[in-house]
Amino acid sequence: MKLRKTTLTIFAIICGLFMIAPIYFMMIGAFRTPETVFDLSLLIKEFTFENMKAVFDETNILRAIWNSLFVSTTVTAVAMIFHAMSGYALARLRFPAKSFVFAWIISTLMVPFTVIMIPLYMVTQGLGMANSYLGLIIPMIFNAYGIFLFRQFYLEFPTELEEAAYVEGLSIAGTFFRLVLPLSKPIIVPLTIGFFTANWNNYLWPLIINQREELNVVQIELANVVGGGYETPWSIVLAAALISALPTFVLFFLVQKQLVEGVKTTGIK
Amino acid sequence: MKLISRNRKKWNETLTAYGFLLPNLVGLTLFIFVPMVYAFYVSLHEWNALSPKVFIGLENYKELAADGRWWASVGRTFIFTFIYVPALYCLALFFAVILNGLKQKYQSIARTMFLFPFAITSVISAVVWMFLYDPRNGFINQVLNAFGLPSLEFLGSTDLALVSIVVVFLWINLGYNMIIFMASIKEIPQDYYEAARIDGATPWKSFRFITFPLLKGTSTFILIVTTIASFTVFDQIMVMTNGGPASSTEVSVIYIYKQGFEFLNMGYASALAVVLFLIIFVLSLAQLRLYTGKKEG
């Protein structure tokens, strides 16, 4: 029994090593010379910062990281407020046509982004938001999934607090913003992680809606660095990949626990 | 007096509710509902984005019915899905069960390792694997050569490219799906396994008759969500092969993108998008029921 457990542990760790190997090779490749980048070894024979320097000199990767940060953070922050408000209204408040409104919101879940990408491009362009931060941000905010999960959370939220607040003469909006929202962390944390990573990861929408180079997000900038040519300068490409991965690496180790716990909240239900 | 105040309260509640819903109602209408309707409208037109739209009825649909390249892309999307979804499902479940049996310390180390690819973006994963797959010097070919096998053109051959891309998707999504399974397995009461052990059940039988049936809800969830995602893959394919070589990785979304934004056939591309929507409609319905139906898993 004990032997089997040891075997399984070793097996799992070896498979885990294979899982992280591609990322490890990216990391060391970023510091290898162009001649040694394909050395099949776990060590760096000739260490160099030249690739990093080339990335900073020849690409706009820092600007692109800033653009991605700005876009993803803004989308997430606005989405959290809007979706919390809507979720709260759908879970707690009584108003005419409520079930219709809910059904309508939820039905938008059935439309995959790829199906509407062309008309969405036209609508956004028609609103004068193409090639701007607004075009990158605003259409990405609205998401029935977020509204739905907030609603689920508020359906199970204890009512005593709000009743006490009403007795004190606080308005509905006042109660929500001052009492309920600050207590919504258990749902805001996993959804913030989810929205931020999804938007950080977005490639197709920025590809469609923005042609201005200075507004390139990091996904686009990196795809441009690798290009399509046969003579890919791999050491430089890997350095660019590593730089663009750093923000989410940091995030990953900060929020890994919440990510694992959040699976229950955002994944299933 | 009381009635008036109650009416006022009700009115107040309605007003607040719609106030709270307003931004999303406007946004969802403008950026999902209108585009959906507009997609259908545009699909009835000949339109290259520069000249005015010309109404042509169902011509685009007739054209796509006979468009071999389109149906080939649909077929490829199905092939991709039939390889990717079962493989991801089995691997995620397999490793969830394995990791679940480990000591807490090793379990969380292994979990971090499996989840790590989740920390990089789709384009980074594409770039890293293009490096590993490099036909001349890539690490995978170096390993093959070390075993006396010939080098392979992973992304450059029409036979291997699609499967090579499936591997990238498996790699990046395995960890996340695995932890969904792990979370569900943890909710199964330990007594069941105790009882099974006393009755002399082997680990395989415990899995087959306890774990697997009790994961039905989670399994359904993962299968539906993964299948929909698989029908709409884009990023890695666009970066790694751009649909090539010789269209061998041109799945439906890539073809729609090319028709719309490269050939500027907006009307025709919209018709293709509407058909793709219909193809995955049943899946979307199932997904919707998953969210609104009974809580499972």
Q: What confidence score (pLDDT) does residue A268 get? A: 45
Q: Which positions 42-71 of B are in contact with A (Cβ < 8 Å)?
A: 42
How close B10 comes to chain A (CA, Å)?
8
Interface test with A, best of B90, B111, B120, B139 (most A CBs within 10 A): B120
Residues of B in contact with A247 (CB under 8 A): none
Per-domain residue ranges for chain A? Answer: 2-49, 61-267
Per-domain residue ranges for chain B? Answer: 59-292
Is the confidence at residue B234, as pLDDT, over 90? yes
**Record: contact B124-A252, CB cut-off 8 A:** no
B73 touches chain A (CB under 8 A): no
CB A150 within 8 Å of CB A87: yes
Of A8, A86, A122, the CB nearest to B38: A122
Q: What confidence score (pLDDT) does residue B6 get? A: 77
Residues of A in contact with B296 (CB under 8 A): 268
Q: What confidence score (pLDDT) does residue B58 get? A: 94
Is the confidence at residue B4, as pLDDT, over 70? no
For residue B54, the 8-state DSSP code is E
B9 touches chain A (CB under 8 A): no
Q: What confidence score (pLDDT) does residue B2 get? A: 59
**Mean pLDDT of all residues in chain B?**
92
Please give the average per-residue pLDDT across A5-15, as a whole number.
Answer: 95
Please give the average per-residue pLDDT across A240-262, as a whole number.
Answer: 89
Specify the long-range contacts of residues B273-278, CB closer than 8 Å, at least 24 apart.
B273/A114, B273/A115, B273/A116, B273/A117, B273/A118, B273/B39, B273/B43, B274/A115, B274/B39, B274/B40, B274/B43, B275/B61, B275/B64, B276/A112, B276/A114, B276/A115, B276/B231, B276/B252, B277/A111, B277/A112, B277/A115, B277/B39
Relative to beta strand B45-46, strand B54-55 is antiparallel
Of B24, B118, B132, the CB nearest to A147: B24
Of B31, B142, B280, the CB nearest to A120: B31
**Record: contact A252-B253, CB cut-off 8 A:** no
Tokens 């998707």 sit on residue: B169
Q: CA A33, A36, A37, A43: dihedral to nearest 10 degrees? A: -100
Backbone dihedral region for residue A37 (phi beyond 0: left; psi -120 to 50: alpha; all else: beta): alpha
B14 touches chain A (CB under 8 A): yes
Residues of A in contact with B256 (CB under 8 A): 114, 117-118
The Cα A83–Cα A143 span in angstroms is 8
Is the confidence at residue A269, as pLDDT, over 70? no
Cβ contacts of residue B78 below 8 Å, gap of 6+? none
CATH annotation of B59-292: 1.10.3720.10
pTM, to two decimals: 0.92
B102 touches chain A (CB under 8 A): yes
CB B119 within 8 Å of CB A252: yes
Q: CA A17, A18, A19, A25: dihedral to nearest 10 degrees? A: 90
Is the confidence at residue A108, as pLDDT, over 60? yes
Q: What confidence score (pLDDT) does residue A266 get? A: 62
| DSSP notation for B120-146 | S-HHHHHHHHHHHT-TTT-HHHHHHHH
The Cα B251–Cα A229 span in angstroms is 22
Residue B10: pLDDT band with limits 50, 70, 90: confident
Residue B3: pLDDT band with limits 50, 70, 90: low
Q: Which positions 41-70 of A are in contact with B (Cβ < 8 Å)?
A: none
Residue A230: pLDDT band with limits 50, 70, 90: low
Q: Which positions 177-206 of A are in contact with B (Cβ < 8 Å)?
A: 200-201, 203-204
**Record: contact B103-A9, CB cut-off 8 A:** yes
Is the confidence at residue B72, as pLDDT, over 80? yes
CA-closest candidate to residue B135, choices B242, B240, B248: B240
A137 touches chain B (CB under 8 A): no
Please give the average per-residue pLDDT across B204-220, as a whole number.
Answer: 92
Residues of B in contact with A204 (CB under 8 A): 234-235, 238, 257
Q: Name the strand (E) or helix (H) holding B45.
A: strand B45-46
Please give the average per-residue pLDDT across A49-64, as a whole number.
Answer: 94
Is the confidence at residue B63, as pLDDT, over 70? yes
Q: CA A10, A12, A17, A18: dihedral to nearest 10 degrees? A: 120
Interface test with A, best of B31, B223, B252, B270 (most A CBs within 10 A): B31
**Mean pLDDT of all residues in chain A?**
92
Of A8, A110, A139, the CB nearest to B284: A110
Does the domain at residues A61-267 carry the CATH identifier 1.10.3720.10?
A: yes
B142 touches chain A (CB under 8 A): yes
**Record: contact B273-A115, CB cut-off 8 A:** yes
A166 touches chain B (CB under 8 A): no
Query: What is the percent of chain B where pLDDT is above 70?
Result: 97
Of B20, B101, B122, the CB nearest to A8: B101
User: SS3 string of A51-62?
Assistant: HHHHHHHHCCHH
Is the confidence at residue A229, as pLDDT, over 60? no
**Record: contact A244-B124, CB cut-off 8 A:** yes
Give the sign of the dihedral formed by CA A85, CA A91, CA A94, CA A97.
positive
Residues of B in contact with A264 (CB under 8 A): 183
Coil, helix or strand for B55? strand
Residues of A in contact with B269 (CB under 8 A): 118
| Between A121 and A4, residue with greater pLDDT | A121
Question: CB count, 10 Å around CB of A164?
Answer: 12
B28 touches chain A (CB under 8 A): yes
Tokens of B12: 């107040």
**Record: contact B291-A245, CB cut-off 8 A:** no
**Record: contact A226-B130, CB cut-off 8 A:** yes
Of A142-146, A150-154, A229-233, B268-272, the least confident: A229-233
Of A93, A120, A268, the CB nearest to B17: A93
Helices (H), chain B: 2-28, 34-43, 59-65, 68-100, 104-115, 122-132, 139-146, 161-186, 190-198, 203-206, 212-214, 216-231, 235-240, 252-257, 266-279, 281-292
Tokens 């079930």 sit on residue: A99
Q: What confidence score (pLDDT) does residue A265 get? A: 65
CA-closest candidate to residue B154, choices B172, B171, B166, B169: B166
DSSP3 helix / strand / coil % (chain A, rounded to 5): 75, 0, 25
Question: Quick one: closest CA in A to B94, which residue?
Answer: A12
Please give the average per-residue pLDDT across B221-229, as a whole number.
Answer: 92
Kindly report whether the peptide bond that precedes residue B245 is cis, defined as omega within 30 degrees of 0: yes
